[in-house]
Amino acid sequence: MYFKIIFNNVRKNIKDYSIYFLTLMIAVALFYAFNSLDSQTAFKTATSDATSNLSRQLISVLSVLSKFIAFILAFLIIYANNYLLKRRKKELGIYMLLGMENRSISGIFVGETILIGIFSFISGIAIGCLLSQGVSAIALKMFAIDLSQYRFVFSISSLINTLICFSIIFIVVIIFNVRTVAKVKLIDLLNAGRKNENFAVKSKKALAGILFVGLCMLAIVALLIYKKNGAISNSAIFSISFVLGILGTACIMYSFFGVLFYTLQKNVKWYFKDVNVFLIRQISAKIQTNYLTITIVCLLLAATICIVSTGMGIALSLNSNAADETPYDFIVLKDLENKKADKSETFQQYFSKKKVDLNEYLKEQIEISIYEEKTFTYNNIIADPDKLFKADADLLEETVPIISISDYNKILESQGKDKIDLKESTYLINCKYRGTKELLQSFVESNKAINIAGRKLTPEMGRINEVVYYLSSVGNNDHGTIVVSDKVIANLNKTSIILNGIFKEDSNKQKFDNLLVSFMGDPQSPYQSLTKTLVFEAYYGMFAMAAFVCCYIGIIFLIICVAILSLQQLTETFDNVYRYNLLQKLGVEKKLCYHTILKQIAIYFGAPLMLASIYSIVALPSIISKASVSLGLDIGVNVGYIIVLLLIIYGGYFLVTYFSCRNMINGK
């Protein structure tokens, strides 16, 4: 009999369970998807030691992070469960009135919790299994692992971990339910939802004062961040800014709608139109009552927008820049100014001495020479040094590297680009570094002449070239190189020789990388090397892992925010169902009631989102700028797409909440 009651209750109240079920399902799906990476065989078949290490680190980080996420999700599920209890209090009261014992009532709710948990878990695992394939593919691409190794997998270990985690959460929920039902009184159950919300502060002057204080706090935060370097996390000013930001947000959330309420009262025509009186009082009272929750949601939303936008921006930019930044498989640089350097020794002789046959591994070898003129420094071609990044303060005193047009054309030809004809009296500037690119472009556009080897040279074209002619750490490739004719080069001092290599398709790349590392580890040696594998995995891998984790945390934060807002609005509507019914009995059309609910939910969802958006608009440019400079990537171009994605998730919960509230008013 009890099972029949439990099953019928879940079936009848399936719409009440919609947000709860949706939240559980998404939580299970995400938890499974991100923890199933260790079962993806492509990670285990990675040919590079660096890739294997980074993938293991990612899986380890996600494993630790998932425990923290599970802890947060536990609170969210308990919060959602509390909504369901409140939604069913009257039903509980009827059970008690009919003589059912608290133990039996608890048993019914435990059964319902287990049943809905089973449904949501199965659905979540099914969705998570599909989602995990996409997550795995993205992770493989981020870590530059061959996607041909990708396999569809179902992770038994992740399933068991997810089952254990959510079983523990549901045991806690069941204990919470049993204790709540055991302590509840019949009179409280029957009168549930009939208590009116009142303003905690009724004084108009007090509310205006709190709003003013909140605005002043946020103004101080802005001043500290932009004038006193308050964005530096290890400074005392940052701590002050952080605390003031939280307090200021709380003050604004507490007082804004109260002040708005008093202001709108003065507009008698608008205030008494339709059911605006009811709407304003409900919104103001509820937001004042729940201002701490809304403050937390607002700050979490701001953090989510910044974290996900930065994380996904890095990931997308890394993928789009990967091929452009690494046109060669490895580089060996010979420093001719090193005391140990044998200037007559060729690369072939050096590798033969190390018993390495380059022809066995390489399809193409591109050898170029770098020259300099001692008196020609970056100070000669950077007219506005104040615009340099702080990290480039010493750049002006460095000599500018110079290469011949014949070597430059070798580079262009190897990358499938058209060769360039350069007159003896002209020069080109090549640059791939964000910190100097615009400054050098301005120099070229001004058509200024330079003096190299006693010759006056003018720009060949009105723009700089952006070609990667050697491998380096990404974002720090070429601060600016002068390209001149071969006749000019003849009178300059050669400082180094670069060998760029492109592997054969069937060559053992990992073996060659290991050989390079084995005999080029001495920092005092005139020969230094860097491989594409290291660039991809040491740079792209580390930041890809950070971006991956950022997205995981951000999505969880977003779900927590929208779930809390949805549950609060469902609770609010449930508490006021009889009031909406009373309005309809007084002659208010059902359509107008729907519009009132829509406005209420829109304001409740919109208030924290608007303030969070303002915070993000202020903070994101600074965050993106610093990240772009440190990573050498333009990550801001993808932010718009990411914010649209976040709004789709946010809007989805908004619509589910609205239609659920409408069904409540209709008695469904």
Structure tokens at 561: 């925010």
- Asked, for residue 611, whether it belongs to a domain, the answer is no
Could you tell me if 512 and 363 lie in one domain? yes
- Asked, for residue 555, whether it belongs to a domain, the answer is no
Structure tokens at 402: 């110079």
As a whole number of angstroms, the distance between CA 169 and CA 310 comes to 31
**369 has pLDDT over 90:** yes
Q: What is the dihedral of CA 171, 177, 182, 185, to 10 degrees?
A: 170
**197 has pLDDT over 50:** no
**198 has pLDDT over 60:** no
Band the pLDDT of 196: cuts 50, 70, 90: very low
Q: What per-residue confidence (pLDDT) applies to 317?
A: 61
**634 has pLDDT over 70:** no
Could you tell me if 476 and 419 lie in one domain? yes
**39 has pLDDT over 80:** no
Render pLDDT for 423-471 as a digit per residue (tens, 0 to 9): 889 999 999 887 888 889 889 888 889 999 888 999 988 888 988 888 8
Average of per-residue pLDDT values in the chain: 77
Domain boundary among 241, 268, 295: 268
Is the pTM of the predicted complex or chain greater than 0.85? no
Could you tell me if 4 and 58 lie in one domain? yes
Band the pLDDT of 148: cuts 50, 70, 90: low
- Asked, for residue 619, whether it belongs to a domain, the answer is no
Taking each helix axis from N to C end, the angle separating 204-227 and 236-265, rounded to the nearest 10 degrees, works out to 150
Plot region of 652 (φ>0 → left; ψ -120 to 50 → alpha; else → beta): alpha
Band the pLDDT of 505: cuts 50, 70, 90: confident
Could you tell me if 92 and 151 lie in one domain? yes
Could you tell me if 156 and 215 lie in one domain? no
Count CB-CB contacts under 10 A for residue 571: 18
Domain range holding 220? Answer: 197-268
**277 has pLDDT over 60:** yes
More confident residue, 313 or 582: 582
Count CB-CB contacts under 10 A for residue 269: 6
Band the pLDDT of 191: cuts 50, 70, 90: low
- Asked, for residue 289, whether it belongs to a domain, the answer is no
Could you tell me if 168 and 201 lie in one domain? no
What is each CA distance from 603 to 22, 242, 600, in whole angstroms? 22, 26, 5
The answer to whether 459 and 451 are in contact (CB under 8 A) is no
CA atoms within 13 Å, Cβ hemisphere of 354 = 17
Is 419 strand, coil or helix?
Answer: coil
Could you tell me if 375 and 418 lie in one domain? yes
Could you tell me if 339 and 437 lie in one domain? yes
Q: How many domains does the chain have?
A: 3
Could you tell me if 130 and 258 lie in one domain? no
Among 239-243, 312-316, 597-601, the minimum mean pLDDT is found in 312-316
Could you tell me if 49 and 160 lie in one domain? yes
Could you tell me if 365 and 393 lie in one domain? yes
